[in-house]
Every structure is written in C-alpha cells, then in structure tokens.
A = this chain, B = another copy of it.
Amino acid sequence: MYRSNTCGELRLADAGKEVTLAGWVQRSRKMGGMTFVDLRDRYGITQVVFNNEVDAELCESANKLGREYVIQVVGMVAERSSKNPHLPTGDIEIIARRLTVLNRSEVPPFTIEDDTDGGDDLRMKYRYLDLRRGCVRSNLELRHRMTMEVRRYLDGKGFLEVETPMLVGSTPEGARDFVVPSRMNPGQFYALPQSPQTLKQLLMVSGIDRYFQIVKCFRDEDLRADRQPEFTQIDCEMSYVEQDDIINLFEGMAKHLFKELRGVELTEPFIRMPWADAMKYYGSDKPDLRFGMQFVELMDVMRGHGFSVFDNAAYVGGICAEGAAVYTRKQLDQLTEFVKRPQIGAKGMVYARVEADGNVKSSVDKFYTQETLQEMKGKFGAKPGDLILILSGDDVMKTRKQLCELRLEMGRQLGLRDKNKFACLWVVDFPMFEWSEEENRLMAMHHPFTHPKDEDIPLLDTDPAAVRADAYDMVINGVEVGGGSIRIHDSALQAKMFEILGFTPERAQEQFGFLMNAFKYGAPPHGGLAYGLDRWVSLFAGLDSIRDCIAFPKNNSGRDVMLDAPSALDVAQLDELSLAIVSPTED
C-alpha cells in the first residue's frame, strides 16, 4: 500500500502521528522559507508543508512539483497555526519528511477545479481529468449509492436480480435497434435490447414473481439534448399483482430513495392524475407540479366577440402568472417570440395585466369589453398584479403543448422551478393507442404488451382510440422518471392487440412468437415498471443533463470523443462478418 491514510481523513486528534499520503498536487505555493502543497485524492485535500530551513533539498524537490503530479509524502501530522475552516482537514497539516514523485504530469488542458476553465468538448475529450473534479466525481458517488439503495430495497422485498441477455433478436416495432452482426451465423444479426421487456415477461412466465435488474439499454435514435444511445434502467416486474400493488411498492421505493439519498421525507401519497387531466391542466403527460399556473380554458368566455383569431380557434386557454403584471412590454415581446419559435410553433400570444384597481388591461382590448375581461379574470381567480397569458390554436393538443412550454418558461423566469423542491405524481389512465400520422395507423402509446383497462376491452372492437390502458408513469418535477403497465398475459388478447396495431398474424408470430407461445403454458397475471437511473441521479444531483452523471458519455453524434469511437474496421474484420460498406441509398 502506497499510503497509510487518505487525504480526507486526518484530524486534530491525529496530530503527532507519522503518516504516508499519496495523491495529486492540487496546487503549491512558496511563502518565505516554506512550501505548501495541497495534496488531493478522492476523499479530500490535505496540506503538506516543506520547510527550507529543515531540509533544503527536500524543499527544493517540492518546489519542482507541477499541478497534477502524483506524489507520495511521508511526514508528521501537526496542528496548523492558521486553520482553514472550509476544509474538514483544515485543522492540520503534514510536516513532510520524505517526498516521492510517483508520476509526473503535463500541464492539464483545463483547471481541475469545480469552477473549471474547460469547455464541454475539451472536458469530454479528457474525461479522465474532468472526473477528477469533485463536482463531477460526486455525481458518480451518488449514482453508486443510488444503485446500492435500490438493490437493498428490492432485495428486502423479495426481488431477484436476473441478468437478461444483451445479444437478443431485433424487433422493428418501436425505436431503432442497434444491431450486432454474427460471424458464426453469416448474414444474421443480434440486436442490443431497447429494454428487457419481453425477457422479463418470460421470467414471469417462468415463475420468478419478483424480478429486477439494473441494466444497460440501447436506442439508436437521433439524439436530442438529453438522450444517450446507451442508458441505464432499473427494470422491474411482478406477478400476481394489480396496478395499485405496483404503484404502492415503487412509490415506497421512491420515498426510500428520497430519504436515504436526499434526506427528504415524503409522507403524503403521491397524487395520481389521469392522463386526460394532465393534458387539460398542464398540456403535458409529465407536468411539473412544483408550481401552479394550471391551464384555464377560455373558449366560452373569449370566443364570439369578433376577435377572429380566437373565434376560429378550437382551443383558447391561458395561465395566470402571479405578480407578473410588472413585466415590461419588452419582456412580453420576448415571451411572444419564445412561443413563436419553430420548436414551439404558436402563432402569437395574448396577454392581460390585472391592474392595481382590478381592471384588466389586455393586448386585445379593442375586441373585449371590460366586463368580458373581468369574467375571464374570474376564471383565473387573478388578483391585482397578476399577468394572464393566452394562447389559441386550431389543434387542441398542439395548442396545449405550446401553452405547456409557456408555463414552464414562466415558471423558470419566476424562479418557481427550485431544484431542491420535489413534486412527485403518478400519471395514470393513459390512452392505449395514439394515432401516427407518419405510419397512418394506431401505435401503442406504451408498448404492444400493455393491458387495456378491463372496462375498456369491449371498445377494442368498436372504438380502439378510446381505450385506456393499465399504464402509469411516475413524474418528478416535470421529468418522467419511470413508467410501466399491467401486461397482457392472455395469448388471445395479445394476438388481438397485434391485429389492431396492423400486424398480420404471420408477422406477429415471426416477431413475437416466442412470447405468444410462452403465454400458452400458464402465464400468470403480471406487470411492472422501469425507472430511468440516469434521470433519477440527475434529479437528485440537480443536474441539467444526464450526461454529467455518466462516467463516459457520448456526444450528440453518438461519439465517444475520448475513445474516438466508433471508428472504421479492418477489411479482414468486415470479411469475417460477411459485410461490406455501401453508400447509403439516396432518399
């Protein structure tokens, strides 16, 4: 062992002990005849002192140390004369007796400090240096503690962690698979799992009635801001349960994690909000409930007064931002620009201030009497000083989603999205299907294995679009941290589902035959849930992106810039795989 202690553990009580420390040189400074070196490791920073009068040669060596040199120091723990109350080790220092340089370092390309001068690209290229920064390392520590707690909790509830294979079959339904050519089976490919969904269902068929796995999953998607081609799921499944059993158990787990990892006691049951309400009041299936500003629909109040924009709209609705009547014309124009950005796509925004005397002053005053505006004010329960923002459009759902973006932006501007506040809920009663314009058919909103609500099963034949599912998402602070459903365990119902989704019986059999066959041999009722580990850790760590809680993330082009992967293969390797590179077909 190169050290007797870490750089984080020595205290005043250790004074007088001879110790050996090893670590990185954070910084060093000469003051008079003394050289002070801050020595850093994973556990903290300890000050090491070299005294030129006592040992000039040793001190001279210390003066030559550069940033990030790896050194070993033998010395005595001593009380500091000028203590540093900001460091846990700030009461002591090490009077060095011996110094060994274990490895030198070139000058690092950015400073190894929480507040670094390195940009994103540089930090990713030198991720191994970036990870030396305490603020990044602490995310990995949190991730470790989180997975330990999850396992402890689920193990205590009788769950078995079962590893499912990474090399599985490709299923074109759903997102795009990453595939793996098989050398032993030329022309054939494995796929990397998008989730162990069907495999965990097979584990239920096999009688493992409480399964979990913390597992890598893969999706070959065009990467949006906060997606990674590989991500980690806490994947769970249970047999002989109904929706409430699953929700209760995993709500319990969420509360346990909040308590253990964030010290937050959540005593109240989480709200369970039907999907239809989430869309109506927040324009989102993952509403951020840290703040109010529920949508108010204004079709009855605001239509029919000659303002053609509203008169011709299928939806007119707004939010009331408390105390925001102080917004300037410039700020309001910026909000209008915000909702008109192509990513949001609103045509415009109407606003109305509630003035000190209670009068409403709006951007469309010429179309509305004060009486109507007062009626509108009443709908919001708005008070003097409040600001009302209204959007409209001819597609109800689209307009709600635009209003959702506006609500979130106002929440941000008004400081209502506090990272240390947590608003948890379940969104339930999802629709079974959603219409895909692209595919011109119904698609499964969750996945084709989701159980419809028993009372809606007759609608499968008459009005499938109206069928609700036994599906549920857990949402925290506007982030979907997990979701799941009760699954179909009956092969006839599963076959019907594939039929509604446009599968021929042959294609259903070809792609999911293994599952439907398994259902013939005594599949128990079952259901489950998957939590996104990366999202949970980001949430607990207060990160804006999941990237910083991943040791070696990929960039938006799916590249690992540190490893410089992916890269070209040797021709021999391609040959062995019976593959050739071809130019993509023109679109």
A584's closest neighbor in chain B, by CB?
B578
Selecting from A188-196, A465-473, A476-484, the interface stretch reads: A188-196
Which residues of the partner chain B approach A143 to less than 8 Å between Cβ atoms? 162-163
* The one of B104, B168, B563, B583 that contacts A522, using a Cβ cutoff of 8 Å: B104
CA distance A563 to B143 in the complex (A): 33
- Point out the residues of chain B lying under 8 angstroms from A579, CB to CB: 579-582
Q: Are A169 and B565 in contact (CB under 8 A)?
A: yes
Would you call A148 and B155 a contact (CB within 8 A)?
yes
Residues of B near A188 (CB, < 8 A) are 566-568
Q: Return chain B residues, CB-CB under 8 Å to A103.
A: 489-490, 519, 522-525
Interface window among A170-178, A289-297, A357-365, A382-390? A170-178
A68 near B522: Cβ-Cβ < 8 Å:
yes
Contacting pair B566 A1 (CB below 8 A): no
Question: Is A208 a contact partner of B131 (Cβ separation < 8 A)?
Answer: yes
Cα-based distance from A230 to B166 in the complex (angstroms): 8
Is B229 touching A187 in the complex (CB atoms < 8 A)?
Answer: no
Contact indicator A524/B128 (Cβ below 8 Å): no
List residues of A (532-558) whose CB comes within 8 Å of B's CBs: 550-552, 554, 557-558
Please state if B24 and A106 are interface contacts (CB–CB under 8 Å): no
A524 touches B22 (CB 8 A): yes
Q: How far is the CB of A238 from chain B (nearest CB, A)?
A: 10
In the complex, A250 has a CB within 8 A of chain B? no
* A486 to B: closest C-beta gap in Å: 12
Among the stretches A85-93, A113-121, A199-207, A319-327, the one at the interface with B is A199-207
Q: Which of A180, A241, A584 gathers the greatest number of chain B CB atoms within 10 Å?
A: A180
Residues on B with C-beta less than 8 A from A570 are 172
- How far is it, in angstroms, between the C-alpha of A103 and the C-alpha of B206 when the chains are bound? 14
**Is A41's beta carbon under 8 Å from chain B?**
yes
Q: A79-122, CB under 8 A of B: which get 1 and which 0? A: 00000000000000000000000111110100000000000000
B567 touching A575, Cβ below 8 Å: no
Q: Chain B residues with Cβ under 8 A from A167's Cβ?
A: 178, 218, 229-230, 554, 558, 560, 565-566
Q: Select which of B160, B190, B580 is within 8 A of A141 by beta carbon.
A: B160
The listed residue (B68, B148, B180, B550) touching A180 by CB distance below 8 A is B180
The contact of A521 among B42, B68, B160, by CB within 8 Å, is: B68
Which chain B residues border A180 with CB–CB below 8 Å? 178-180, 192, 566
**Contacting residues, chain B, for A218 (C-beta < 8 A):** 166-167
Let me know if A186 is at the binding interface, CB within 8 A. yes
A205 to B105, CA, bound (A): 11
How far, in whole Å, are A276 and B525 apart by their CA atoms in the complex?
59
Complex Cα spacing A3 to B205, Å: 17
User: Which residues in chain A, 142-169, are within 8 Å of chain B measured between CB atoms?
Assistant: 143-144, 147-148, 151, 155, 160-169
Q: A1-B245, A580-B580 are in contact. Are A128 and B202 (CB under 8 A)?
A: yes
Q: A2-B525, A144-B160 given as contacts; is B569 within 8 A of A182 (CB)?
A: no
Taking the complex as formed, is A303 at the interface, i.e. its CB lies under 8 A from any CB of chain B?
no
A551 touches B164 (CB 8 A): yes
Taking the complex as formed, is A418 at the interface, i.e. its CB lies under 8 A from any CB of chain B?
no
Query: Among B2, B155, B568, which residue has its beta carbon within 8 angstroms of that of A189?
Result: B568
Task: Please pick, from B147, B514, B584, the residue contacting A562 in the complex, using a CB distance under 8 A.
Answer: B514
Q: How far is A188 from B581 in the complex, measured between Cα atoms in Å?
A: 9
Leading 7 A-B pairs by shortest Cβ distance: A131-B206, A105-B522, A169-B565, A2-B240, A188-B566, A182-B566, A68-B522
30 A-B residue pairs with Cβ-Cβ distance under 8 Å, sorted by A, are A41-B207, A68-B522, A69-B522, A70-B522, A102-B525, A103-B523, A105-B521, A129-B205, A131-B206, A137-B208, A140-B160, A144-B160, A148-B161, A165-B554, A166-B216, A170-B565, A172-B573, A176-B183, A181-B181, A182-B558, A184-B557, A186-B581, A189-B568, A191-B565, A202-B552, A202-B562, A576-B584, A579-B580, A579-B581, A580-B580
